[in-house]
Copies of this chain bind each other. A is one copy, B any other.
Amino acid sequence: MARVVVDVMLKPEILDPQGRAVQGALGRLGLTGVADVRQGKQFVITLDGAMDADRAAVLERLAGELLSNPVIEDFTLTVQEDS
């Protein structure tokens, strides 16, 4: 079993109104000095069997084409091998 985590985040130059709203709320609710908040998506993918180069290549492609929008989002892919 392999566990792959794909984090998808708006590119730094894209405004993030959701993050801005959370930033305001955190401040009002007692957290001081919040400089910035960005909100993204996280996909936790569990695969049968081990990771190999083929699967890694397919995952890398799909993370860029299916799980994120390359026009406005960046992604990071982390493999956590379990077995």
What is the interface of chain A, defined by CB distance below 8 A to chain B? 1, 7, 9, 19, 22, 25-26, 29-49, 55, 58-59, 62, 66-67
Contacts of A44 in B (CB 8 A): 9, 36-40
Contacts of A29 in B (CB 8 A): 58, 62, 66
- Which residue, A29, A45, A67, has most C-beta atoms of chain B within 10 A? A45
Known: A22-B67, A66-B25, A67-B22. A58 touches B31 (CB 8 A): yes
In the complex, the 3 A-B pairs of residues with the closest C-beta atoms, listed nearest first: A33-B48, A36-B46, A40-B42
On whether the beta carbons of B22 and A43 are closer than 8 Å, the reply is yes
On whether the beta carbons of B7 and A34 are closer than 8 Å, the reply is no
